[in-house]
């Protein structure tokens, strides 16, 4: 307990420093000329400066971060492992062994969390019959556990953020329902993080709605997540972001590298093109042509989400590094964010920095003196708690902030200035908007400017040919939305009053 106490003091100090640094954003920056050499040097979040110009910031997020408990996460993981196997094809009705026991225990635990919410959180068993599939030898009942924490702002309550982990596990064979499959890392770690977030966050109020979810069937082909995403799409659910936490359990890789300070966040570049019914899993020629002409392949909504997570967590959880990986997932691997991406939702995957393949999808055994299997002894519960803190801070920031601006465009026309237009947000507590920009070769947004409560603004002396621009909304407490990148506009042809766009 004593060591936890001293860590708490360090945490509070670090959080205070985080509050100071966030204040840098409040100040409009001076208008740089395109030749300004300092452009690339100044980050948006200039560290440790101008404490006098502090924004109030979000006072709940530091509390949420400090309440996440590694001990609770450890207890959840040990309980999930105690069910022997959580293979999706395992026993449904045995109270002690198999996926049914895990399902019922999780349902009860999420209900306990909901009891702390003053009626704002409800827990549902979303049960469906999965038809025969590649890793599904016979039709099987699957149950997603879905805990919904309703947003309290009328304009935002239908805006939804989803955080998920998969509670099923597997040993060497995905259809072996009898072998022990402890799944302590894959994915009791993600499931435990989501349950802990639900426990802590149920007590707090957010403008928008957060769904905490534990799903089965991931190892069978992302089946639980696919069902949820399909239902959401059919019901026009406005999911603004989805996080999957999968294999966030260990800080020690199979390469011998110990890294307890880093979490990878995978985000895809070129998004699924849902505008054309004939390309449900691809990209239409028109969109591809626009990307080839104007760029923007590094500015999908999922990538803006990853940048948002990095900015937020480095301020509220500054001892953790968010390592953005600019790809959908690891080579040859997949996860529960994919069914969301396929349906046009922004989604990212959280995973530990160095995996150990002797502990994933392996029968528990000792071979040549090596322990195989996904056992709790290989988990780092403090690390998992820190990944949960990164998630929770980001989710709280998303659900406290306004929606990202819609219909951001560059009005057409050739100009050395860059006019930007967007639809005004609907929330009653909007304070205004910020334009962010970066050099085209930068990985993250480097500059921002507060432009007031307007729906159009011109960046004088800065051409859209030379920078990437985007817009975000800010509320009166200083909560910022993720950015919206301008919609692609088709290349103009013909003989209007404006000069032609070619060659």
Footprint of Zn ion on this chain (CB under 5 A)? 186-187, 246
Structure tokens at 45: 């979040």
Residue with tokens 């899993």: 281
264 contacts 352 by C-beta, under 8 angstroms:
yes
Nearer to Zn ion, 196 or 246 (CB): 246
Nearer to Zn ion, 76 or 484 (CB): 76
Q: What are phi and psi of 164, to 5 degrees?
A: -140, 155
178 contacts 129 by C-beta, under 8 angstroms:
no
Q: Give the integer Cα–Cα distance in Å for 23 and 19.
A: 7
Nearer to Zn ion, 86 or 303 (CB): 86
| CA-based R_g, the chain, Å | 23
**What does the angle CA 212 – CA 215 – CA 221 come to, to the nearest 5 degrees?**
140
Residue 186 CB, nearest approach to Zn ion (Å) = 4
65 contacts 394 by C-beta, under 8 angstroms:
no
Residue 376 CB, nearest approach to Zn ion (Å) = 16
Side-chain-side CA neighbours of residue 223 (13 Å): 25
The 10 Å CB-count burial string (b at 16+, else e) for 403-442 is: bbbeebebeeeeeeebbbbbeebebeebbebbbbbbeeeb
Residue 13 burial class via C-beta count within 10 angstroms: exposed 0-12, middle 13-18, buried 19 and up: exposed
Nearer to Zn ion, 209 or 244 (CB): 244
Residue 226 CB, nearest approach to Zn ion (Å) = 14
Which residue blocks in 202-324 are alpha helix, DSSP H? 223-234, 285-294, 301-316
Cβ neighbours of residue 47 closer than 8 Å, sequence gap 6 or more: 21
Q: What are phi and psi of 198, to 5 degrees?
A: -60, -45
């Amino acid at each position: 307990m004593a060591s936890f106490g001293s860590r708490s003091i360090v945490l509070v100090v670090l959080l205070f420093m985080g509050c100071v640094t966030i204040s840098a954003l409040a100040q409009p920056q001076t208008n740089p000329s395109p030749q300004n050499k300092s452009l690339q040097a100044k980050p948006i979040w200039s560290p440790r400066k101008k404490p006098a110009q502090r924004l109030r910031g979000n006072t709940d997020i530091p509390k949420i971060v400090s309440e996440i408990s590694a001990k609770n996460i450890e207890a959840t993981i040990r309980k999930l492992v105690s069910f022997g196997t959580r293979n999706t094809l395992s026993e449904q009705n045995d109270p002690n062994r198999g996926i049914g026991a895990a399902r019922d225990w999780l349902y009860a635990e999420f209900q306990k969390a909901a009891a702390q919410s003053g009626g704002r959180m409800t827990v549902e068993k979303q049960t469906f019959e999965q038809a025969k599939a590649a890793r599904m030898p016979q039709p099987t009942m699957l149950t997603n556990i879905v805990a919904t924490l309703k947003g309290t702002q009328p304009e935002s309550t239908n805006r939804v953020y989803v955080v998920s982990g998969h509670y099923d596990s597997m040993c060497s064979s995905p259809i072996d329902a009898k072998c022990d499959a402890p799944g302590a890392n894959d994915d009791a770690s993600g499931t435990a993080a989501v349950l802990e977030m639900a426990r802590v966050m149920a007590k707090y109020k957010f403008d928008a709605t957060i769904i905490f979810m534990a799903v089965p069937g991931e190892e069978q082909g992302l089946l639980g997540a696919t069902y949820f995403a399909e239902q959401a799409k059919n019901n026009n659910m406005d999911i603004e972001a989805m996080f999957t936490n999968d294999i966030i359990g260990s800080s020690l890789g199979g390469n011998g590298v110990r890294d307890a300070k880093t979490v990878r966040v995978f985000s895809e570049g070129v998004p699924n093109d849902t505008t054309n019914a004939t390309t449900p899993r691809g990209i239409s020629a028109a969109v591809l042509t626009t990307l080839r002409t104007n760029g923007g392949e590094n500015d999908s909504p999922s990538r803006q989400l990853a940048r948002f997570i990095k900015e937020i967590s480095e301020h509220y959880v500054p001892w953790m590094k968010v390592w953005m990986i600019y790809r959908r997932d690891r080579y040859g691997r997949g996860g529960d964010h994919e069914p969301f991406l396929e349906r046009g939702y922004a989604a990212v995957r959280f995973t530990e920095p160095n995996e150990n393949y002797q502990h994933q999808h392996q029968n528990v055994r000792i071979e040549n003196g090596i322990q195989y299997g996904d056992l709790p002894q290989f988990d780092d519960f403090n690390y998992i708690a820190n990944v949960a803190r990164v998630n929770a801070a980001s989710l709280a920031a998303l659900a406290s902030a306004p929606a990202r601006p819609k219909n951001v465009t560059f009005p057409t026309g050739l100009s050395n200035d860059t006019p930007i237009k967007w639809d005004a947000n609907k929330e009653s507590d909007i304070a205004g908007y910020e334009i962010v920009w970066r050099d085209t070769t930068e990985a993250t947004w480097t500059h921002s400017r507060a432009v007031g409560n307007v729906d159009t603004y011109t960046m004088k002396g800065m051409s859209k040919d030379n920078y990437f621009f985007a817009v975000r909304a800010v509320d009166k407490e200083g909560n910022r939305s993720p950015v919206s990148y301008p919609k692609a506009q088709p290349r103009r042809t013909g003989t209007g009053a404006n000069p032609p766009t070619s060659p």
